[in-house]
């Protein structure tokens, strides 16, 4: 679900991942990227989406790592 949101609305996906400052940064680049996208380019928009994918994936990886650490501590 978060990956789909990262594809459609990258700043919202980053905000839901718990990174508000990165979401603002991404939103600014998305606005500029969308303007360039309308003018015939799409590289900046694509970079916003890639950034959102990395943030969402990192959030999921952090959760997995915490679960592993807690499981080791419980032993």
pLDDT in tens, 15-44: 999 889 999 999 998 888 888 877 776 788
Q: Check whether 52 has a pLDDT greater than 90.
A: yes
Domain containing 48 equals 9-74
Is residue 10 scored above 70 in pLDDT?
yes
- Is residue 1 domain-resident? no
In a domain, 54, yes or no: yes
Give the pTM. 0.79
Distances (CA, A) of 67 to 26, 70, 71, 72: 29, 5, 6, 9
For the cut 80, the answer to whether the pLDDT of residue 9 exceeds it is yes
Q: What is the mean pLDDT of residues 3-17?
A: 90
DSSP state of 1: -
Q: Is residue 35 part of a domain?
A: yes
Question: Helix, strand, coil shares of the chain as percentages rounded to 5?
Answer: 85, 0, 15
């Amino acid at each position: 679900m978060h990956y789909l949101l990262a594809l459609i609305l990258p700043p919202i996906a980053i905000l839901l991942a718990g990174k508000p400052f990165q979401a603002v940064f991404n939103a600014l680049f998305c606005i500029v990227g969308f303007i360039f996208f309308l003018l015939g380019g799409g590289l900046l928009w694509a970079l916003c989406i890639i950034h959102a994918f990395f943030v969402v994936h990192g959030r999921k990886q952090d959760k997995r790592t915490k679960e592993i650490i807690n499981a080791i501590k419980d032993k």
